[in-house]
Copies of this chain bind each other. A is one copy, B any other.
Amino acid sequence: MATRAMTEAQLKTLKVNRDRLLKGIHDTCKFGPGERWGTAETETGMSRLALSDSDKQARDWFVQTTKALGCRITIDQMGNIFAIRPGRNESTATFAGSHLDTQPTGGRYDGILGVHAGVEMLRVLNDFDIETEYPVGVVNWTNEEGARFPKSMVSSGVWAGEISLEDAHNLREVGGGAATMRSELERIGYLGSIPASHDAMPMAAHFELHIEQGPVLEAEQRKIGVVTGVQAYKWFTLDVKGRDAHTGTTPFAARADAMLLAARMIVHAQELAATKGALASTGILTTLPGSVNTVPGHVRFSLDIRAPYDATVDELETELRRDFDSLATSKDLPLPLSVSWQSDTVSPATLFHPDCISAVRDAALSVLASPDVVDSTHASSLIRDITSDAGHDSVYASHHCPTSMIFVPCRDGVSHNPAEYCSPEDCAIGAEVLCQSVLRYDQLRSSRGGP
């Protein structure tokens, strides 16, 4: 049958094959097995570093499998692999994409689930003999993790024109080895000929299924997170300066205690951030001079503030600057202290495309309203909009094509850990939402009369 004007009822019939999806994931996890964390056969983590021999095995599997499913394969100069299934019309493809590389002590789902769900999508389209209006594809991005070559999302970054090919090719593997990205791409046979560029390989849209890597969906018993964008964040180093003093001979009334002020600042930052739906975190704190019996005259700490919108982060920063100065000169402190800010990182928010967000939301409602899954009256309660932390190829993709992501729960929010886990049911729900999202976007392109 053809997809043109597929009804909601028809879309619902496009069920993924859960067992096939999971078998694909676990069979290919023999390429780069990691630490064992449980007794079952599948209870090991993954250690499939980018462009290693095991990554080559996974890539070979991906190329052979998608070719066999009728795709045309294109490999660019960063080793990004685009598998494209033709549609009724020649045009750019609507893509599902993620990555097959892992952290050295990673799990079986981060990245891997997204690529396998894309392959499962191709299989479903073949099973149901679907001809899409425009091509659809699956992309495997190279070295998303940045674990072996120390730049995360480097190859989608080159594709987006935001990282130079030369810088990326010259990235040297961590740990003192001589290998570079280019030398390893050549060695394993994945240095493609076409430029890694959104001009040479444009995408009509990019959808990415991914585990949440956080605890929200599980805690709220949701099945799907409709990812509306990526948080803005700023990193600062704060220096709080008072006066060193002997802990024994210096009464409270004569202290300018940088540790006390820093403690108040950290507590306040979190309280204020909470009122704005933002986050504030301190991961590093050091005391100087650092002696048990010296009240520290200098405390330095990191401050990480985040929110879905740039304006919220800016407002939080402005108010914290004001409040920290007030705290430093408060009457509660016997002597005034000083606070200085150093800006380390500014990462603006990414807002995903409304068309893609709608496609994901509609797909999720449809999939979760299926009688196989749950009472349809509850479908909407199983979905929530969610903001991603930075760290997906979809961020670079979104700069050059409409993009959104689909999050599924992972156990205890754990990721980058061998015990990372997403249930077979949730993997299948996510894959089905991915498949429908791509088809809905394909139909949207058609309904608008062109690519």
Report which A residues bind B (CB closer than 8 A): 212-216, 219, 231, 233, 235, 245-254, 257, 259-260, 262-264, 266-267, 270, 273-274, 279, 281-287, 290-296, 302, 304, 306, 344, 388-391, 413
Q: Give the one of A212, A231, A283 with max B CB within 10 A.
A: A283
Closest chain-B Cβ to A411's Cβ sits at a distance in Å of 13
Given contacts A247-B306, A252-B279, 17 further A-B contacts (CB under 8 A): A213-B249, A214-B248, A216-B254, A233-B248, A235-B292, A235-B293, A247-B281, A248-B390, A257-B281, A263-B264, A281-B293, A282-B296, A283-B294, A283-B295, A284-B290, A285-B287, A292-B344
Is A283 within 8 A of B267, CB to CB? no
**Given the complex of chains A and B, what is the CA–CA distance between A295 and B214 in angstroms?**
13
Is A287 within 8 A of B293, CB to CB? no
Picked from B231, B233, B245, B287, the residue with its CB within 8 Å of the CB of A284 is: B287
Is B266 within 8 A of A259, CB to CB? yes
- Which residues on B sit within 8 Å (CB–CB) of A248? 214, 231, 233, 279, 304, 306, 389-391
**Given the complex of chains A and B, what is the CA–CA distance between A413 and B235 in angstroms?**
38
**Given the complex of chains A and B, what is the CA–CA distance between A245 and B245 in angstroms?**
35
Is A260 within 8 A of B267, CB to CB? yes
- Which residues on B sit within 8 Å (CB–CB) of A284? 287, 290-292
**Given the complex of chains A and B, what is the CA–CA distance between A270 and B255 in angstroms?**
12
Closest chain-B Cβ to A150's Cβ sits at a distance in Å of 15
- Which residues on B sit within 8 Å (CB–CB) of A267? 260, 263-264, 267
- Which residues on B sit within 8 Å (CB–CB) of A282? 259, 287, 296
Residue of B nearest to A264 (CB): B267
Residue of B nearest to A304 (CB): B247
Q: Give the one of A246, A253, A390 with max B CB within 10 A.
A: A246
Is B389 within 8 A of A249, CB to CB? yes
- Which residues on B sit within 8 Å (CB–CB) of A306? 247-248
**Given the complex of chains A and B, what is the CA–CA distance between A286 and B259 in angstroms?**
12
- Which residues on B sit within 8 Å (CB–CB) of A251? 214-216, 279
> With A250-B215, A281-B295, A283-B247 as given contacts, are A266 and B260 in contact (CB-CB < 8 Å)?
yes
Is B290 within 8 A of A249, CB to CB? no
**Given the complex of chains A and B, what is the CA–CA distance between A219 and B255 in angstroms?**
12
Residue of B nearest to A254 (CB): B215
Closest chain-B Cβ to A288's Cβ sits at a distance in Å of 10
Residue of B nearest to A233 (CB): B248
Is A259 within 8 A of B283, CB to CB? yes
**Given the complex of chains A and B, what is the CA–CA distance between A13 and B273 in angstroms?**
69
Closest chain-B Cβ to A267's Cβ sits at a distance in Å of 5
**Given the complex of chains A and B, what is the CA–CA distance between A296 and B262 in angstroms?**
16
- Which residues on B sit within 8 Å (CB–CB) of A254? 214-216, 219, 413
- Which residues on B sit within 8 Å (CB–CB) of A250? 214-215, 413
- Which residues on B sit within 8 Å (CB–CB) of A286? 285-286
**Given the complex of chains A and B, what is the CA–CA distance between A129 and B213 in angstroms?**
88
**Given the complex of chains A and B, what is the CA–CA distance between A286 and B293 in angstroms?**
16
> With A254-B219, A266-B259 as given contacts, are A213 and B281 in contact (CB-CB < 8 Å)?
no
Is B293 within 8 A of A283, CB to CB? yes
**Given the complex of chains A and B, what is the CA–CA distance between A389 and B250 in angstroms?**
9
Is B252 within 8 A of A274, CB to CB? yes
Closest chain-B Cβ to A419's Cβ sits at a distance in Å of 14
- Which residues on B sit within 8 Å (CB–CB) of A247? 279, 281, 283, 304, 306
**Given the complex of chains A and B, what is the CA–CA distance between A282 and B253 in angstroms?**
16
**Given the complex of chains A and B, what is the CA–CA distance between A78 and B390 in angstroms?**
66
> With A283-B287, A285-B287 as given contacts, are A260 and B249 in contact (CB-CB < 8 Å)?
no
Closest chain-B Cβ to A295's Cβ sits at a distance in Å of 5
Closest chain-B Cβ to A390's Cβ sits at a distance in Å of 7
Please name 30 pairs of A and B residues whose Cβ atoms are closer than 8 Å in the assembled complex, sorted by A: A212-B249, A214-B251, A215-B251, A215-B254, A216-B254, A219-B254, A247-B306, A248-B389, A249-B389, A251-B279, A252-B270, A252-B274, A257-B270, A257-B281, A259-B281, A259-B282, A259-B283, A262-B263, A263-B264, A263-B267, A264-B267, A281-B295, A282-B287, A283-B293, A283-B294, A284-B287, A284-B291, A292-B302, A292-B304, A292-B344
